[in-house]
Amino acid sequence: MALTIKELEKHILEAIPDASIEIKDLMGDNNHYSAIVKSKIFKGLNKIEQHKLVYKSLKGKMGGELHALSLTTEEK
């Protein structure tokens, strides 16, 4: 079962409550997304650490329910 944009947003916001999130369904299949996530929590973290926080929020769904996520993170 694929993840909807609303489900992705919910997971990210549970872990990163102040996040501003823009998600696009790249293929129209609820399985290939691009996301821009902005948060104050990213301050002082490198891109790898920022991305790990977002992937951790998805609770293991990456590679299963979610096939592809092109991720951009930014500090608010």
Compute how many other C-beta atoms are within 10 angstroms of the C-beta atom of residue 61.
17
CA torsion sign for 48, 13, 9, 3 is positive
Closest residue by Cα to residue 43 from 53, 55, 34: 53
CATH number for the domain spanning 56: value is 3.30.300.90
pLDDT digits (tens, 9 = 90+) for 3-55: 899 999 999 999 999 999 999 999 988 889 999 999 999 999 999 999 999 99
pLDDT digits (tens, 9 = 90+) for 51-70: 999 999 998 888 888 889 99
Question: Can you list the positions of beta strands (E) in 1-76?
Answer: 20-25, 32-39, 68-75
Domain count, the chain: 1
pLDDT band at residue 2 under the 50/70/90 scheme: confident
Q: Which domain holds residue 38?
A: 5-75
Alpha carbons 19 and 37: distance in angstroms, whole number: 6
